[in-house]
Amino acid sequence: MRHQRREFLKLMGVGGAFTLLPIDIARAAGTPAPEDRAVYISASAGDADDYYVSAFNASGKILFEQALPGRGHDIGLRPNHVDVAAVERRPGLYGLILDRHTGDVRAKLHCPEDRRFYGHAIYSNDGRFLYITENDFDHARGVVSVWDAEDGYRRVAEFDSFGTGPHELHLMPGGEHLVIANGGLHTHPDFDGRTALNIDSMEPNLSIIDRRTGKLIHQASLKHDWHQLSIRHLDVAANGTIAAGFQYQGEINDQVPLVGIWQPGKEIRPIEAPDNVQYRMRQYCGSVRFDASGQVFGISCPRGGLVTFWDAKTNGFLTHIAAPDGCGLAATDRPGEFVGTSGLGNGWRLDAIRRKRVELPDDSHKSLHWDNHLRRITA
């Protein structure tokens, strides 16, 4: 493992004479970066069942808090526009379109009675359409709903997700295809909406569909022995590599992989951490995020109190950083660096190359409990 880390540091331009990545070696080696002027936005909660979408700057200073009618989950960012989409945690009924600068509500989305929002949304690259994962609970079928942002966010279509319990979705490079993490969990509002009713017959998968027609382009599943690995969260690198995090529905001591790499058209490749880290991941992965270089990705493990880091080039484990109840992750513009948040109110800068964690200096963000996902707004 030490040898693998040394080789990675050479690739990233730390402790070596060359780099194989299109990155700025000087900055990767520690030269101070320009001031981070980005804004970070996430669902959050107070101490009295009060829920918000909140934004903070690179120092951790809270910029706004917008109250929500229920617990949020992820935020979709409309390209080149003020709109952001906040979707309720599964099984959700509301979606709100907010102004990214002020938090003001600009539009409201209402889930059909026979559907439930499943927490994640993504816009098309031109900002015209918003895509949201949903549960067609009476038919144990996942769908992706389509909303026209230029027509008052009218619901204009829905596509099959080609699985059960779809959760996170992303655009593929080129912007014409959507990749969907179908978690495989069938739930129903009559059974609280979150209890899994099909643990013994789960069939999770990753599916890629055409965003305009809904046609299935690619699909991959894990081997049957791992059918209880719910594929929940994912991210996509600029070269089309997909990293995915799993949440195991079996026993805590079962030996199963929790991370996968997928090159569409091939099988999902499971990868594991060293045994001591793998056990600390507690069978549960939260956010998945590639860094600015597209080679490193982070996967948070809030139940284990750590964030793990992986090398997409070698399909190997790199390192981990302690992060109590840490789940939200957003990449900065520096290779190997992320901002992370926790349900305990913490905010950090996390450096996967040097295995460093630095607290955000402004304490105002500590007044909130941050939810599972974090997004970075650069303009």
User: Given this model, what pLDDT does residue 192 score?
Assistant: 87
Q: What is the pLDDT of residues 275-318, one digit of tens each?
A: 999 999 999 999 999 999 999 999 999 999 999 999 999 999 99
**Residue 307 and residue 293: Cα distance in Å, rounded?**
18
DSSP-derived secondary structure for 306-370: EEEEEETTTTEEEEEEE-TTEEEEEE-SSTTEEEEEETTS-EEEEETTTTEEEE-S-GGGGGSEE
Q: And the tokens for 216?
A: 């299935």
**Residue 120 and residue 161: Cα distance in Å, rounded?**
13
Please report where in the chains the tokens 């031109």 appear, as a residue: 126
Determine contact, residues 297/260, Cβ cutoff 8 Å.
no
**Residue 43 and residue 74: Cα distance in Å, rounded?**
7
User: Given this model, what pLDDT does residue 312 score?
Assistant: 96
Helix (H, G, I), strand (E, B), or coil: what is residue 139? helix
Strands 177-182 and 205-210, by their bridges, are antiparallel
**Residue 276 and residue 116: Cα distance in Å, rounded?**
38
Helix H or strand E segment including 253: none
**Residue 183 and residue 203: Cα distance in Å, rounded?**
8
pTM of the model: 0.91
Q: Please name the residue ranges forming H helices in the chain.
A: 2-11, 25-28, 275-280
Q: Please name the residue ranges forming H helices in 170-307.
A: 275-280
**Residue 199 and residue 349: Cα distance in Å, rounded?**
37
**Residue 117 and residue 131: Cα distance in Å, rounded?**
11
User: Given this model, what pLDDT does residue 132 score?
Assistant: 98
Helix (H, G, I), strand (E, B), or coil: what is residue 19? coil
Closest CA to 352 of 328, 317, 378: 317
Domains of the chain: 72-377 (2.130.10.10)
Task: Please give the DSSP secondary-structure letter assigned to residue 31.
Answer: P
- End-to-end Cα separation, the chain, in angstroms: 39
Task: Please give the DSSP secondary-structure letter assigned to residue 284.
Answer: B
Closest CA to 51 of 376, 378, 372: 372
**Residue 56 and residue 374: Cα distance in Å, rounded?**
11
**Residue 325 and residue 306: Cα distance in Å, rounded?**
8
Please report where in the chains the tokens 């299109």 appear, as a residue: 22
User: Given this model, what pLDDT does residue 379 score?
Assistant: 63
* Residue ranges of the chain with per-residue pLDDT less than 70: 1-35, 379
Q: What is the dihedral of CA 184, 185, 189, 195, to 10 degrees?
A: 180
Length, in residues, of the chain: 379
Helix H or strand E segment including 120: strand 116-123
User: Given this model, what pLDDT does residue 69 score?
Assistant: 94
**Residue 355 and residue 312: Cα distance in Å, rounded?**
17
Determine contact, residues 120/101, Cβ cutoff 8 Å.
no
**Residue 242 and residue 310: Cα distance in Å, rounded?**
12
User: Given this model, what pLDDT does residue 34 score?
Assistant: 56
**Residue 218 and residue 215: Cα distance in Å, rounded?**
9
User: Given this model, what pLDDT does residue 11 score?
Assistant: 46
User: Given this model, what pLDDT does residue 26 score?
Assistant: 30
